[in-house]
Amino acid sequence: MNYTLLKPFYVLTIIVHFFMATMFLSNNGFAQEFVQGIDVSNFQGTINWKQVKQAGFTFAFAKATEGISYTDIQFDSNWHGMRAEKIIRGAYHYFYADDDATEQAKHFVAVVGLLRKGQDLPPMLDLEDKPKDKKQYIASVTTWLNYVEQALGCKPIIYVDRPFADDHLGNKFNNYPLWIAEYTSASQPNLPDGWTLWSFWQYSDSGKVAGINGVVDMDKFNGS
Query: HEC profile for 25-78?
Result: ECCCCCECCCEEEEEECHHHCCCCHHHHHHCCCCEEEEEEEECCCEECCCHHHH
Burial (CB count <10 Å: 0-12, 13-18, 19+), residue 133: exposed
Buried b (16+ CB within 10 A) or exposed e, 148-160: bbebbbbbbbbbb
The whole-angstrom separation of Cα 78 and Cα 101 is: 25
The catalytic residue positions are 39, 128
The whole-angstrom separation of Cα 66 and Cα 52 is: 25
185 CA to centre of own chain = 21
